[in-house]
DNA sequence: CTTGAATTTGACGATTATGTTACGAAATGC
DNA sequence: GCATTTCGTAACATAATCGTCAAATTCAAG
């Protein structure tokens, strides 16, 4: 679970400094001193994050970034761009080309590690979502990307609430979700409505998906609902 | 079971406002007006949640947070950081240092109490979840996640009360539970029914799980019941 | 073996949780 | 800005579950 970070930087001292601080934070570090090597390493090792100097021999940071974002394998790896003071004009360009953050040299080690941690956390969450974009139960298929549902190839029109409810139940197939849990996760914790609201939506959902699948949403009396395993 | 919340905030008005709203929600409130006192109170009283202003005299929110997370006794207490608008830069830092949520002033009382409730719930679940979710005795298997019970792969339909009763006995395999204990733990301490009620449910339970397993629930005359080791 | 207490058992009415439908308000789309 | 959809709530219907009671049975002690 320890994260790997690729650092592409031609100035040896800075490279080592960064490496040292990242290792202190228990990250695994890969190093490259020019753009070509950096790009190759990135594709081979698929690190969890890439720190990229803007000015590089061989192939500069912008080009590498562009290349990374074009490659399906690497397009989702977050990139932090390092720029020297005075290169500020290029900031926007760098971000537009797909970099996810930047830092202006000189930066403090503390700033670096905080930034890295923050970005990794952000992308962790991101990558959790796309994990399962599609859920299935028998011939019922739901696509979390497009918020659509099919039963035997035929699309079923669900409202957003119904969709989320179905998704939440299906995602936890076999586990009972209490009404409170469902309210929290489908409606959001800021909603303070009645638990009966859940019932009503369960009812509508069941109606729309037809008897066979309606029965798959089991009522656990006194607790809540559960999608049949 | 009423939760205690420590509020560390130097502005008297805000402190009282927060206190008032939390009390309205039946929380027990501790107050501190500077960081040092806050930290001491936290360690002494071990509240269930700490609301921490970022800007404080004596010792600022970040330092306190850091200190709390270093102390084994307090490291698992959730912290909500309060930041004034414009201090947003510190958000990440605050969260990185272990705060579990933050709120930007000014916030509405409603937002506060909802947030508090959500966080407490989240942490409640955390400490409950890692418990064993499955119990076994011979070919009898119970799954606390789905509230289901099987005997030799065949599912047995139990009501929630029966399920909890079985679970309670099985969890304390070999130990005798008095009827009063069972009433407390299965029905809840607020229930004031007769001990005979337990008998009836034991009866129904025994009936449903079949002779072999019925016999595993032993009657300890004059005391209560015990699940055979 | 007798006896009283404890437990088992079955029945029943009460209670409670959920299903169902309807309706007005809010959100959404055109 | 109007028409339509979607939502949350309430009210009622239905069904599952419960707690209590009382009679039957078992148990243990003498």
pLDDT digits (tens, 9 = 90+) for B30-74: 999 988 899 989 988 899 999 988 878 777 777 888 888 778 788
Would an 8 Å CB–CB cutoff place A117 in contact with chain B?
yes
Report CA(A80)–C1'(C27) in Å, whole number. 40
CB contact at 8 A, A98 and A69: yes
CB contact under 8 A, A174 and B145: yes
User: How confident is the model at residue A88, as a pLDDT?
Assistant: 47
User: How confident is the model at residue A96, as a pLDDT?
Assistant: 52
CB contact under 8 A, B117 and A176: no
| Residue that has been written with the tokens 């809540």 in this structure | A224
Domains parsed from chain B with CATH numbers: 4-128 (3.40.50.2300), 134-227 (1.10.10.10)
- ipTM of the modeled complex: 0.68
User: How confident is the model at residue A129, as a pLDDT?
Assistant: 43
What distance in Å separates the CA atoms of residue B147 and residue B152, rounded to the nearest whole number? 17
Would an 8 Å CB–CB cutoff place B117 in contact with chain A?
yes
CB contact under 8 A, B147 and A174: no
Task: Give the nucleotide at minimum CA-to-C1' distance from B158.
Answer: D17
**Chain A residues 146-185 within 7 Å (CB) of strand C:** 179
**Angle, vertex CA A176, rays to CA A171 and CA A179, nearest 5:** 95
CB contact at 8 A, A8 and A56: yes
B218 touches strand C (CB under 7 A): no
Weakly modelled stretches of chain B, pLDDT under 70: 1, 85-102, 104-106, 108, 122, 124-132
Q: Give CA separation, A185 vs A165, B87, B110, B192, in Å.
A: 9, 30, 19, 34
CB contact under 8 A, A176 and B92: no
User: How confident is the model at residue A127, as a pLDDT?
Assistant: 52
What distance in Å separates the CA atoms of residue B75 and residue B60, rounded to the nearest whole number? 17
Report CA(A226)–C1'(D11) in Å, whole number. 27
B221 touches strand C (CB under 7 A): yes
Weakly modelled stretches of chain A, pLDDT under 70: 1, 13, 17, 24, 84-111, 122-132, 189-190
User: How confident is the model at residue B139, as a pLDDT?
Assistant: 92
User: In this predicted model, what pLDDT tens digit does every residue of A56-86 receive, in sequence order?
Assistant: 777 777 778 878 877 777 777 888 877 765 5
Give how far A184 is from chain B: nearest CA, Å. Answer: 8
- Write the CB contacts of B53 (distance below 8 Å, at least 6 apart in sequence): B8, B9, B10, B11, B61, B81, B82
Residue window 152-211, chain B: list those with CB within 8 Å of chain A.
159-161
Reference A161, options A127, A199, A134; nearest CA is: A199
User: How confident is the model at residue B129, as a pLDDT?
Assistant: 45
């Amino acid at each position: 679970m320890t994260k790997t970070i690729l650092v592409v930087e031609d100035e040896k001292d800075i490279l080592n400094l960064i490496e040292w601080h990242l290792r202190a934070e228990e990250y695994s570090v890969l190093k490259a001193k020019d753009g070509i090597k950096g790009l190759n390493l990135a594709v081979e090792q698929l690190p969890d994050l890439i720190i990229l100097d803007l000015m590089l021999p061989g192939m500069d940071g912008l080009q590498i970034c562009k290349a990374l974002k074009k490659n399906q394998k690497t397009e989702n790896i977050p990139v932090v761009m390092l720029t020297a003071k005075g290169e500020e004009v290029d900031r926007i360009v760098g971000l537009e080309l797909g970099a996810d953050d930047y830092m202006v040299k000189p930066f403090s080690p503390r700033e670096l590690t905080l930034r890295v941690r923050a970005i990794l956390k952000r992308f962790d969450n991101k990558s959790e979502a796309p994990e399962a974009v599609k859920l299935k139960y028998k011939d019922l298929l739901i696509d979390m990307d497009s918020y659509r549902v099919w039963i035997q190839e035929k699309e079923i029109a669900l409202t957003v609430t119904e969709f989320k409810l179905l998704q939440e139940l299906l995602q936890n197939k076999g586990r009972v979700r209490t009404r409170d849990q469902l309210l929290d996760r489908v409606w959001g914790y800021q909603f303070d409505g009645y638990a009966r609201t859940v019932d009503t939506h369960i009812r509508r959902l069941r109606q729309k998906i037809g008897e066979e699948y309606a029965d798959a949403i089991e009522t656990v009396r006194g607790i809540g609902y559960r999608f049949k395993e």
